[in-house]
Amino acid sequence: MAKKAGPLSGLKVVELAGLAPAPFACTILADLGAEVVRIDRATPGNDVIGFPNDPLARGRRSIGINTKTPEGVELVLKLADDADVLIEGFRPGVAERMGIGPEQVHARNPRLVYGRMTGYGQDGPLATVAGHDINYIGISGALEPIGHAGQRPVVPLNLVGDFGGGGLLLAMGVLAALFERQTSGKGQVVDASMVDGAALLTTSLHGLLDSGLWSGGRGENMLDGGAPFYDTYETADGKYVAIGAIEMRFWGDLVKVLGLDPEETPVHVDKNEWPKLRKIVAEAVAKHTRDELVAKAEGTDACLTAVLSPKEAPSHPHNVARKTFVDVGGMLQPAPAPRFDRTPAETPEPPRPKGGDTAEVLAELGVDADGIERLRAAGTIA
């Protein structure tokens, strides 16, 4: 297989198919040029992982292996023998019972970085307990502060746990381990927990709490929608704008955009005036459609932008100019990020059919055509 473009070109990754966070980590690595081989189930069964043209499966090949057979386990180990990274998202102990845990893999390839993605981590009282993003961000302290005053916490999709505190953290951990390997020559296990990652995302919040700058409850502080100059507002057409005019000169520009009288508008940093100011801003915003307000704010530092839906975002002029979204297999989806001036990433390839590259990958491992046919007849491969 020809090397892909990008800063990780030449890096070989084995991915054990899973849900959301681990595949996202592999998507990041694949986007940046790594050669990722995804191990899917040999037979569909009750497989609920992914869907046609799933963006989290883009940019890599797929091989179908029955990991419940000794022959299947050996194939996984052979793939890992020649890899730089292996990533799995099973509960603690599952990979070991399958025969593809860190000890088994490192016995054959001590340079391999073994990335593990779990909700609660590899140890601790909850390590083997089931959960999802909402549970992980719940005990990390990341969920409780999100929402409006006097109301229940609001679920921020599954962005904080699965993707920010999960997949992104795992990708960073893998890259850090690869950097360390340049000195030691040894691989290691990367234990990425979504609880740990979500907690890490709240680092700044802990500083604000300790300094007394975050003294209110949920939805009563400057950055959680409590401040009238940092919130969303409904426009005349039932859409929304986001306002983030924190600094004095930005606030001054917003006052002009909204057509407010500076002399009659309360000081925006005076918390006692926030209820009155919120009403003033809301009424001013409601006089215009979303796009009218955005046009009025153009060329200013009012920090007023449209709140776009995922379907609208690809068409925004800035996103179009930056090529923030790309067409992958007929679907507009986020482009690889970040960007590199010398080794830019290429547009990802669409997801391959599950198991669609089995014969090609096995041939690269040295398995001849007869051997591939025997493995297929035995149900070991797709």
Candidates 40, 46, 49, 111; CA nearest to 76 is 40
- If you count them, how many residues does the chain have? 382
From its phi and psi, is residue 252 left (phi > 0), alpha (psi between -120 and 50) or beta?
A: alpha
Distance CA 359, CA 184 (A): 35
Q: How far is CA 47 from the centre of its chain?
A: 22
Q: Is 162 designated active site?
A: yes
**Cα 312 from Cα 332, distance rounded (Å):** 11
CB atoms within 10 A of CB 281: 22
Strand-by-strand arrangement of the 304-306 sheet: 230-234, 240-244, 304-306
Closest CA to 148 of 218, 244, 233: 218
Using the Cα atoms of residue 225, residue 227, residue 232 and residue 238 in order, give the sign of their dihedral.
Answer: positive
Catalytic residue among 54, 132, 191, 301: 132
Beta-sheet strand order (sheet of 113-118): 61-65, 35-41, 12-16, 85-88, 113-118, 189-193
One of 162, 196, 231, 357 is an active-site residue; which one?
162
Bridge-based pairing of strands 85-88 and 240-244 is unpaired
The question of whether 132 is a catalytic residue gets the answer: yes
Q: How far is CA 299 from the centre of its chain?
A: 32
Q: What token pair was written down for 141?
A: 């302290």
350: preceding bond cis by omega (within 30 degrees)? no
Known catalytic residues? 132, 162
